[in-house]
Structure 1
Amino acid sequence: MTLTEMYGSALPLFFSFSSKKQAPGDSSKPFEEALIARLRSLTPIPDSSSSIPLSWICRAVDLLSLTLADATALISDPSLCGGSDLAALEFYLDSTVALLDACNAISAAANRLQRGRLVVRLALRLLSFCTSPNNRSRARSAISEWKAGAATPHRRSASDLLDRLRPKGLPRGRITAVRRVIYAVEAVSDLVTSCVLLVLEEKGDLVGRIRVSSELTWGAAYNEVTSAVSAKLQRAIVAAEVEEAEASLRTLAAVFDEEVGGGEITERLRMAIGTAEKVTEELTERLEDLTNAVNGLFRVALETRDAAMQCFRVGSPKYIAHGTWCEVSKVAASGRMLNICFMPEIFPKSLDLLVT
């Protein structure tokens, strides 16, 4: 079951609106300060392995979820969202679809690793009772199945998906709080999702495709994380826990082929089994953590998308109260932007338009 099927009916959001207007810089300042602190918490990346560990990946996904949650509060504030922000939000709605697709892609990649882990666990269990010729044969088949899957991993192009997530560029001139937040969310989404897809054996461009301008307060922290991730990925792409599990299983397969003959478990084989069991269990825990983190990200992304759509669903009452023809308002219906003119002779002045 895909994440879309699991969370297709997200709970509605309830927002507490504030009538007090703030300057763009003041409105986005708490958001940017929190983002700086979170980005700095991701560096340095642990040096226990040449590649990026899944534990770090989970933290990065959680960071993106928190960033989206903070963005939702700003996007849903009617005192901040309006005018030129509507065009930016319209493009951002497309970006949220790409983020949801990325969550599904990450979940599918994690599930493939989990299926490979099940084959490994079967082999380990059979090897623990190696006295039976049938068990030896089944264990050898399971190891061969894993080796075949490891030699030809399922790789699919994620370039199109990552291109849809890439920020369109920070607009020049006076930048509103909402547009600053949207750019930040898109930049962090690009960094996190491209990194996760790469370490889970997906094809795509290397991280570091964009560098954030130093004019933004969080730009330096973002670029520092990007540089650290790129340096790691140049050394090894596969996640550290996956790399360790594959190495231990290659050793186990070699020992099994060399020493399993009379059905007895030698000390060397017993040690290889123990090491493989340990790293496989650690990989299982990290994959479960990643799955939970991605599920949480999917839910928050749905909520952020719903908040953005609210800006188009609700008409502007001040225009409805005017003379013969009212200002054109934009609403979202059937996934498209529609231009609707209101006539006060037909619609009551107190009417608020809401298209669902």
Structure 2
Amino acid sequence: MSQPQEPHRPFFPFGNPFKRISSKGSQLSPRLLSLLNAFEFALTTRLRKLNPKDKHDVLSLAWMKLAMESLCETHTGIKTLITELDLPVTCWDEKWIDVYLDISVKLLDICNALSSELLRLNQGHLLLQFALHNLESNTSEKLVRARSSLDNWRQNIGSKNPRLESCKSILEGLVDSLSLPKVKNSAKGKVLMQAMYGVKIQTVFVCSVAAAVFSGNLENLLDLDVANTTMWAQAFSDLQTNVNGGIREIFSHGKFPVLKELDEVHTVVKNLYPMIQDGTRPIEVEAFSNSSSDLGRKAEKLSQGLDFLTNVVDGFFKIVLSGRDALLCDLRVPDTHADPFLGSNGERLLNELALWLELNRKFLHESAGQSGNAFAEQRSFP
């Protein structure tokens, strides 16, 4: 409990913030200290809210959606902090800009990988719909079609997504960027760098968990060491221990698929498939009817979860892209007080971004075309 002689202590329930900022160089003013603590307090609260009540919850689309929403809030928060710091881009050190842009392009790549996986799983929903449509019929021909659709669905969820496989190297690159550039004689710069550190830690953690769960590859699951010098350090440590520990325990049992909503559908399909394996009308009519109804409910729950998560991932992509775009636009604005490197550096980075966006558009267009061809026959319900 706070002591009477420490009137400010109630605002710092996670320790004395003055100890977290080096006294060397520029000293933080009360305003800057207040901005930093407000940001870190909000981050601490978000991390605590992500702690799952049950270890299996972290392997659900609902938790993934919550984690990505939290990440969106944190990235929106850092943009707000930059505005409140009133630290023009022309005052940024070149190393800060390079770090920010390098991180942002890696995050955009991870978003694309996750989006491609969500799209692939959503395509599987078309197969389930086709199967359910044919299960309503008494004819042997329709049951054979339903069986074929269920076979294709199981192959779909059992296949590997090459874009997810590349996440490991991207995540390792993000980990390498966790050590922030040193800040000299800039109090605002110190606040920005410390806040950015928190953003990067949460970002790498959430992306690591998502990549591990959707790829089924524990190599994508990272354990981050965080120095106990920030307000949110303990909250993050508790979260990482609970989440990563729970994931490893579940993976150790060899369960497939590991995603909760996907596993629920997979279980129903395993029960239903033997009933229609020979293409004849099942003898156990009631059990068949119950399994078909259960498949419809579970498939719809999976589809909704995938849609909700897709929207949040798209939202995160836009937040990262808009922040990157705003920075690059600021670099293009002529400023007589700007450092000489900004003009050429900004132009080079803009060209790189334009090329990256063009390649991304081509990839999405090709993916959409391939998806349409692969599932055109399944969409046409006879």
Instruction: Report if TM-score (shorter chain) is over 0.5.
Output: yes
Residue equivalent to 2:318: 299
Equivalent position of 1:308 in the other structure: 327
CA distance in 2, matches of 1:329, 1:171: 18
Between Structure 1 and Structure 2, which shows a larger proportion of helix residues?
2
1:168 Cα shift? 2.8
Distance change >3 Å, CA 142–CA 330, structure 1 → 2: same
Deviation at 1:269, TM superposition (A): 1.1
Rounded Cα–Cα distance in structure 1 between residues aligned with 2:183 and 2:266? 51
Task: Tell whether the 8 Å contact from 1:53 to 1:239 is kept in structure 2 after alignment.
Answer: yes
Instruction: Name the residue aligned to 2:47.
Output: 39
1:146-185 → structure 2 map (5 Å cutoff)? 146-154=153-161, 156-166=165-175, 167-170=177-180, 176-185=190-199
Matched with 1:235 is 249
After TM superposition, the structure 1 stretch with the greater mean CA deviation from structure 2, 263-272 or 291-300, is 263-272
Letter in structure 2 aligned against 1:330: L
Structure 2 counterpart of 1:90:
98
Q: Secondary structure at the match of 1:334?
A: helix
d(CA) in 2 for partners of 1:142 and 1:226?
39
1:251 aligns with 2:303: no
CA offsets 1:304-342 (integer angstroms, 9 cap, x no match): 2234335534455457xxxxxxx64523113179xxxxx
Aligned CA-pair RMSD: 2.8
Q: Secondary structure at the match of 1:211?
A: coil
Choose the corresponding residue for 1:218, options 198, 212, 232. Answer: 232
Normalization by structure 2: what TM-score? Answer: 0.72
2:297 counterpart of 1:278? yes
Q: Is 2:112 the counterpart of 1:120?
A: no
Change in Cα spacing, 1:336 to 1:152, as seen in structure 2 (3 Å) is: closer
Q: How does 1:21-40 map to 2 (within 5 A)?
A: 24-40=32-48
Moved more, 202-211 or 94-103: 202-211
What is the one-letter code of the residue matched to 1:309?
L
Deviation string for 1:207-226 (max 9, x for gaps)?
34312211011111122221
Q: TM-score, normalised by structure 1?
A: 0.77
Asked whether the equivalents of residues 101 and 324 of structure 2 are also in contact (C-alpha less than 8 Å), the reply is: yes
Is 1:290 aligned with 2:309? yes
Contact persistence 1:123–1:138 (CA under 8 A): yes
Task: Check whether the contact 1:255–1:269 (CA below 8 A) recurs between aligned residues.
Answer: yes
* Structure 1 stretches lacking a partner, 5+ long: 1-20, 320-326, 338-356
Deviation at 1:54?
0.7
- Of 60, 73, 76, 2:67 maps to 60
1:133-152 mapped onto 2 (5 Å cutoff)? 133-152=140-159
Secondary structure of residue in 1 paired with 2:342: strand
Give how far 1:195 is off.
1.3
1:71/1:304 contact within 8 Å kept: no
Matched, 1:100 2:108: yes
Partner of 2:11: none
User: Could you tell me how far 1:39 is from its partner in structure 2?
Assistant: 0.9
| 1:67 partner letter | T
Q: Distance in 2 between matches of 1:336 and 1:154?
A: 30
The answer (yes or no) to whether the contact 2:52–2:243 under 8 Å persists in 1 is: no
Q: Which residue is equivalent to 2:139?
A: 132
Map 1:192-207 onto structure 2 (within 5 A).
192-201=206-215, 203=217, 205-207=219-221
Deviations 1:156-201 (A, max 9, x none): 3321221233243245687711111221221111111121122222
Aligned to 2:200: 186
Partner Cα separation in structure 2 for residue 168 and residue 280 of structure 1? 40
Distance 1:120 1:168 in 2: 43
CA distance in structure 2 between the aligned counterparts of 1:24 and 1:247, rounded to whole angstroms: 54
CA contact (8 A) 1:194 1:205 kept: no
Shift of 1:265: 6.6
Quote the sequence identity (%).
Answer: 24
Structure 2: unaligned runs, 5 residues or longer: 1-28, 252-257, 352-382
Does the CA-based 8 Å contact 1:252-1:273 persist in structure 2? Answer: yes
1:204, CA displacement in angstroms? Answer: 6.3
Quote the offset at 1:275 in angstroms: 1.6
Aligned length: 307
The more displaced of 287-296 and 82-91 is 82-91
185-194 vs 287-296, greater mean Cα deviation: 185-194
Cα distance in 2, alignment partners of residues 268 and 68 from structure 1? 49
Q: Report Cα offsets for 1:13-64 as digits up to 9, x if no partner.
A: xxxxxxxx866533322111111111111113445x4762110100110111
Q: Which amino acid aligns with 2:149?
A: A
- State the match for 1:69 in structure 2: 76
Residue pair 1:40, 1:221 contacting (<8 A) in 2 also: yes
The aligned counterpart of 2:22 is: none
The answer as to whether partners of 2:79 and 2:323 remain within 8 angstroms in 1 is yes
- Name the CA shift for 1:51/1:317 in 2 (closer, same or farther; >3 Å): closer
Moved over 4 A (4+): 21-24, 81-85, 170-175, 262-265, 314-319
Deviations 1:87-119 (A, max 9, x none): 123211111011111111111000111111211
Secondary structure of the residue aligned to 2:237 is helix
